[in-house]
Amino acid sequence: MARLSLYNQVSLSRNEIYKIFRRRIGVLSGIIVFCSLGGVLVNLAIAPTYEAETIIRVKQARIFENTFNSELEINSKQNSIQNLTTYVEILKSRSVVEPLVMKNKGNEMVGYYRFINHLKVQMIKDTEILKIRVRAKSPEIAEENTRDLINSFVNRLSYLSKTEQAVYHDFLKKRWQKSKIELQNAEHSLENYKKQAKIVAPAEETKAVIERISAINQLNAENQVALAAAHTRLNNANNQLSLARANIVPKSLALEFQKQKLSQMKVNLVELLQKKSPTNPEVLKLKAEINETNQKLNAEISKIVNKKVSQDPKQQNLIQNKILAEVEIAAIDAQQQLIQKILKENEQELAKLPVKEQELARLIRNNTLAQEIYLMLAKRFEEAKINEVMQPAGIQIIDEPLASDKPIAPNFWLSLAIGLVSGCLLGSAMALYLENSRRMIVDADDVHEYLDLPVLGVIPEFGLVKVDSKYSKKTK
């Protein structure tokens, strides 16, 4: 018989493929049935897996270090997303998961990576909502593991917050105690001078000068506290980044522009306060513009950190704190230069007053400044103590962990479908392979189709014939 390989053909028509599958229907159907049964058996052999789901809200807490300067308390959308992403990474960290692994040792969880494979965390877009799913071998274990995970997450957040706040708490405590002594000294000096000079109250002219410079004195007090706090945050971030050997991101032109703009606006605010009261519409408008610039700065910093810094959320947070502190220091320094210049001019104005009134005005000004700083630090110190006993972020459980009685895996119909599809593919491949291995022409249609020759005749194929005679024989 003539031999012919299917590989010699460029392509097969649908009719040819149909004929091949029809000839090999036994092999094709057998493989499909075998694979389908295999999928069903695998489904029965795999232990069922259950999933517990809970929904929590991570209420964005005010970042502690930003409480020193309310202008930097910005809850931009991008910053909120970054904070929520940080919480997700903390939730998946070893420090949160390993206590659960140790607790379930000897159960179905063997290690950290296996538990992570059983954990899914989804951020709901444009919200503070996290959807957490935990898988286990039974509904009860899944629910228990989910509750333990949330408790471990809250405990870790509390520990990180207390560790981070310890530096600022110590700074506030020392600075507040120092300001208390400074205020007592200022009050004592003022009272002693009034007794020595036999002055009960300053003259009207002296009062006018003191009132005129009161806004600048208040701003000077705020800047002194904010500047000290910013330097503390900067030093803390630099120390931690040096230990982690993290690379600092390059500066952005847009960031530098917003930084210079903020410094100039703060200088303009000082100049305006020389002419207008703090409640003047022009002053309020300028303060609103400063807040808007702060928002743009924060958004630009978040964008830089997200694009150019490693995915480590801790390093991202440290670098963002470092840049924010540097921006704040630069803006306050620019403002303080003008404030010091104005204070010198005020000294010249005070020099025009009578001698007794000069010293009285200076003492009143120093007392007012010390009092402003003391009250400000006392408020911040009380906030710090409250923050120490509060959760760093408000973890609110919206839906308690709940697992369905029906397992999510294995899926019978999915296993059957995979078996059917794989059987069809494998059976088709086997049918084509066997057809190609045949390599012969067996009927007139093959002669006409493959050789394109006329068929002159066909020799029939005879079976065995039994003849009932004495001389019977078998013929083919």
268 found inside a domain: yes
68 found inside a domain: yes
Q: Residue 275: exposed, middle, or buried by beta-carbon count in 10 A (0-12, 13-18, 19+)?
A: exposed
H or E, element range at 315? helix 313-350
Q: Which domain holds residue 36?
A: 6-46+410-451
Q: Based on the structure, what is the number of domains in the chain?
A: 2
Q: Supply the pTM of this predicted model.
A: 0.54
343 plus 425 within the same structural domain: no
At position 184, the amino acid (one-letter code) is Q
184 plus 38 within the same structural domain: no
36 plus 85 within the same structural domain: no
285 plus 425 within the same structural domain: no
pLDDT, one tens digit per residue, over 56-105 is 988 765 444 444 444 444 444 555 555 677 788 888 888 888 888 877 66
Residue 435 CA to residue 20 CA, distance in Å, equals 7
pLDDT, one tens digit per residue, over 263-302 is 888 888 888 877 887 788 888 888 888 888 888 887 777 7
51 found inside a domain: no
Q: What angle do CA 80, 323, 321 make, to 5 degrees?
A: 55
360 plus 309 within the same structural domain: yes
Residue 300 CA to residue 322 CA, distance in Å, equals 14
324 plus 427 within the same structural domain: no
123 found inside a domain: yes
Pair type for strands 129-136 and 394-403: unpaired
385 plus 270 within the same structural domain: yes
52 found inside a domain: no
Tell me the DSSP string of 77-131.
HHHHHHHHHHHHHHHTSHHHHHHHHHHTTTTT--SHHHHHHTEEEEEPTTSSEEE
At position 279, the amino acid (one-letter code) is T
Kindly provide the b/e burial profile for residues 42-58, where b requires at least 16 CB atoms within 10 angstroms of the residue's own CB: ebeeeeebbbbbbbbbb
How many C-beta atoms surround the C-beta of residue 229 within 10 A?
A: 23
For 159-250, list the strands marked E by DSSP. Answer: none
Residue percentage of the chain with pLDDT more than 90: 7
Q: How far is CA 162 from CA 71, 78, 385, 441, in A?
A: 24, 25, 11, 85
184 plus 273 within the same structural domain: yes
pLDDT at 132 over 90: yes
DSSP code for 71: G
> In whole numbers, what is the pLDDT of the chain averaged over residues?
78
Mean pLDDT calculated for residue range 295-320: 72
Sequence-distant (6+) residues with CB within 8 A of 378 are 176
pLDDT, one tens digit per residue, over 225-256 is 888 888 888 888 888 777 655 555 556 777 78
462 found inside a domain: no
